Structure 1
Amino acid sequence: MRATRLALVAMAAVSLLAAGCGGKSGGSHHGGTGAGGFTPPNIPALTSLGQGEGQVNLVSWAGYVEDGSNNKDLDWVHPFEQQTGCKVNNKVAGTSDEMVSLMKTGQYDAVSASGDASLRLIAGGTVAPVNTSLVPNYADIFPDLKNKPWNSVNGKMYGIPHGRGANMLMWRTDKVTTAPDSWSVVFDPNSPYKGHITAYDSPIYIADAALYLMSTQPALGIKDPYALDQKQFDAAVNLLKEQKQIVGEYWSDATKIQQSFKAGDTVLGTTWQVIANGLTGEKTPVQTVLPKEGATGWSDTWMVAAKAQHPNCAYKWLDWVVSPKVNAQIAESWGEAPANSKACTLTEDKNFCTSYHAADAPYWTKVHYWNTPITQCLDGRKNVKCVDYSKWTQAWTQIKG
């Protein structure tokens, strides 16, 4: 599960990002500035595919690389091995920080990175641009997942989008009498549901507060919830310190928060679609909404190591996991919207893509996908420094006390 995806990012890792994020005058770097003003190392993409090397070493989130050992009905590894001759060796990582550390060892060929890791991998020269022409199924990826700030720099794709999801608002319909349409219900200090509200347990949740402030305090000038100058950051942190007084439980384990909603200990708060679906399947009366302010969310990207020892097999894997049938399997078993537009006709649940808004482009315009806060403001501002993720982790510790 995505339970422990966003662990605290070590100061050293963020320092590496800053070191890799040179300004416009980046001397030997090529291609100008990228997202937030940094220039990634000049690493060439693969120009052509050759024979597979016989194996591929992957780092992935749990559930993304299934070989039937966890569930005999979930196996897209063995068919890949049989078709390509590339044996899959997979290392499951529990956090984004662990993924970055593993990829830095040089022992792995590809990684299923979330947005809070991808910029670090790009800036540190750990991953290379991806030649999308060598990934035939890339053509069918939803257009609104391509060339985004967390997976590309200067129009160069650094990976293949795999799946996505939104962090929505969920409530018990038998406990919350008026259906909410705003995040205000989880931030109101006078909430009648005090002690039964939940919030996501991660420093990246500061972006949820910033997103709310974008609508409620426009004078702060927040344009991107991951690009906060000191004043904007302090406002978000103060809001979360106030919210702590009404939060009954912070969650990072999807199974545990599902149980808490089922028991009625929690009646309102942030959720994922897969959690809501699980509760509905258990006849727990819940509903979800993408609030009027929008929401944060995630988009995962398969990226190739800059020094991949098995680049041909890595590219074959990237194409395999976003092929329609496999992408449908992964999305449905894991609980996220598939990235391949052709996957929706191949899910077992024919309403799956409707439930997960897979092809609903207007829906996703309201989702601000996780990204890595860095000192070079991701919203393009040049005259101010933004607060980087190391400071987010420090503040999160203070917020929770």
Structure 2
Amino acid sequence: MNSVLRRLAIAAACAIGAGTVAALAAGGGDLVVFDWSGYEDPLLHPAYTAEQGAEPTFAFFGDEEEAFQKMRAGFKADIAHPCSQSVVKWREAGMLQPLDTSRIAGWKDLNPGIMAMKDLATTADGKAWFMPFDWGNTALLYRTDNVTPDQAQSLRIFADPKFKGRVTIGDNVDDAYALASLVIGLKDWNKMTDAQFKDASAFLRDVHKNIRFYWTDDTDINQAFSGNEVDLAWGWNETFVTLKGQGVPIAMNRDTKEGLSTWVCGYVLMKDAPGDLDQAYDFLNAVNAPAVSDYLVKTFGYGHGNAAAMAAIDPKILAERGFDDLDKSLDKTLFQQPVAPELKQRMIAEFEKIKAGY
């Protein structure tokens, strides 16, 4: 299929069915990257454009379950950008092909803690499936002109009736149950009992009573904060960094008494990738390049998978972004590690009921 017909086919596939999968971003090269909105930024893969003379074609999803179902229904991409908790599910569904690590420059420089996460990047047979790219926190964000620091010391503030209609959390089952797990005192969601699942879901139902809307991307949440539509959000580093830079009165409390959540996302190679493998590896090399670390940390507020490149960043910048002493928060962090498939499906089904008001 020539590139024009292929792009038309992708656009048609993105438009079919419900959900928030968006059509194509600027670019239109032969490589198709299925990604979160915002990651089409050319400065996250400058070496790819220089090598290929064109941007990749980007298609977007709102959450990983939506992406999973869309690809199961026949949507084709070369590369996708899931997070750690979904990789095992995608791999076991036969959707991925292993990475040839000899073709990825800087593979040895990837964050060793992430690479050691059970069942994530490398399986017992030595095959590699996932290249970590970005990692960060989901934590309490609040407007400092409407919420005091004393009020923002507990994640239970999300269910406080005083903030009815002034709360937003992501339309994202993983972040939602990370929040609820922390509130009930659970740091490892794979150890969740039936009783704890009920308690976590009950908290999310209480939060739902205060919800103004469930945000799906950074644009939603950034506009709501800057427009003074919400006081509280369960959100990511990028919102804090962006809005702080714009002068919006916002704070991010990574030290609430219940803690925070840490997520890791990265790139995978799809099993039925229709494009050129050389282009796919050019893209993987481009996003793992050391020069990308500085931009990702400063502009998005996220950590880069390339640990060696992260270590070369100005320590002052790392401190401002919360990356200077990660050990101090380990005991208060829920890592969004791979979730047992049965529990994940249960979370998905229950979160849909909660959002519908049941």
Q: What range describes the TM-score normalised by the shorter chain of this pair?
A: 0.7 to 0.9
**Distance (Å, rounded) in 2 between the aligned partners of 1:274 and 1:325:** 19
**Distance (Å, rounded) in 1 between the aligned partners of 2:101 and 2:142:** 41
**Could you say which residue in structure 2 is the equivalent of 1:297?**
262
Q: How far does residue 137 in structure 1 lie from its aligned partner after superposition?
A: 0.9
Q: Secondary structure at the match of 2:148?
A: coil
**Distance (Å, rounded) in 1 between the aligned partners of 2:209 and 2:75:** 45
Q: How far does residue 274 in structure 1 lie from its aligned partner after superposition?
A: 1.7
Is the contact made by 1:106 and 1:308 (CA closer than 8 Å) also made in structure 2?
no
Q: Which moved more, 1:315-324 or 1:198-207?
A: 198-207
Trace 1:135-214 onto structure 2 (pairs within 5 A).
135-149=104-118, 150-154=120-124, 156-179=127-150, 180-187=152-159, 189=160, 191-204=161-174, 205-214=176-185
* Partner residue of 1:245 out of 209, 213, 220: 209
The one-letter code of the counterpart of 1:396 is F
> Are 2:62 and 1:118 aligned?
no
**Could you say which residue in structure 2 is the equivalent of 1:370?**
336
* Partner residue of 2:68 out of 90, 100, 109: 100
**Could you say which residue in structure 2 is the equivalent of 1:321?**
287
**Distance (Å, rounded) in 1 between the aligned partners of 2:203 and 2:302:** 29
* Partner residue of 1:394 out of 323, 333, 349: 349
Q: Secondary structure at the match of 1:368?
A: strand
**Distance (Å, rounded) in 2 between the aligned partners of 1:281 and 1:175:** 19
Identity rate, percent:
22
Which structure 1 residue ranges, 5 or more long, are not aligned?
Answer: 1-6, 10-53, 68-73, 215-221, 376-385
Q: Which moved more, 1:296-305 or 1:362-371?
A: 362-371
Q: Secondary structure at the match of 1:280?
A: helix
**Distance (Å, rounded) in 2 between the aligned partners of 1:122 and 1:327:** 27
The one-letter code of the counterpart of 1:325 is A
The one-letter code of the counterpart of 2:353 is Q
The one-letter code of the counterpart of 1:117 is S
Q: Secondary structure at the match of 1:153?
A: coil
Over aligned residues, Cα RMSD in angstroms?
3.4
**Could you say which residue in structure 2 is the equivalent of 1:35?**
none
Which structure 2 residue ranges, 5 or more long, are not aligned?
Answer: 1-17, 21-28
Is the contact made by 2:169 and 2:215 (CA closer than 8 Å) also made in structure 1?
yes
The one-letter code of the counterpart of 1:113 is P
Distance 1:284 1:81, change over 3 A: closer
Distance 1:102 1:315, change over 3 A: farther
Q: How far does residue 325 in structure 1 lie from its aligned partner after superposition?
A: 0.8
Q: How far does residue 323 in structure 1 lie from its aligned partner after superposition?
A: 0.9
**Distance (Å, rounded) in 1 between the aligned partners of 2:145 and 2:335:** 31
Q: How far does residue 300 in structure 1 lie from its aligned partner after superposition?
A: 1.2
**Distance (Å, rounded) in 2 between the aligned partners of 1:153 and 1:277:** 35
Q: How far does residue 359 in structure 1 lie from its aligned partner after superposition?
A: 5.2
The superposition leaves residues 69-89 of structure 1 with CA deviations (integer Å, 9 ceiling, x where unpaired) of xxxxx4745x42544x59664
**Could you say which residue in structure 2 is the equivalent of 1:278?**
242
Q: Secondary structure at the match of 1:206?
A: helix
**Could you say which residue in structure 1 is the equivalent of 2:305?**
339
TM norm structure 2 = 0.75
**Distance (Å, rounded) in 2 between the aligned partners of 1:114 and 1:317:** 18
The one-letter code of the counterpart of 1:388 is K
Q: How far does residue 283 in structure 1 lie from its aligned partner after superposition?
A: 2.2
The superposition leaves residues 86-141 of structure 1 with CA deviations (integer Å, 9 ceiling, x where unpaired) of 96642322232453356554843322222343222211122133343442312222
Q: What is the aligned length?
A: 322
Larger Rg: 1
**Could you say which residue in structure 2 is the equivalent of 1:37?**
none
**Distance (Å, rounded) in 2 between the aligned partners of 1:153 and 1:208:** 29
Q: Secondary structure at the match of 2:99?
A: coil
**Could you say which residue in structure 2 is the equivalent of 1:33?**
none
The one-letter code of the counterpart of 2:343 is V
Is the contact made by 2:267 and 2:284 (CA closer than 8 Å) also made in structure 1?
yes
**Could you say which residue in structure 2 is the equivalent of 1:306?**
271
Q: How far does residue 330 in structure 1 lie from its aligned partner after superposition?
A: 4.6
Q: Which moved more, 1:119-128 or 1:85-94?
A: 85-94
- Runs of at least 4 residues off by over 6 Å: none
The one-letter code of the counterpart of 1:275 is T
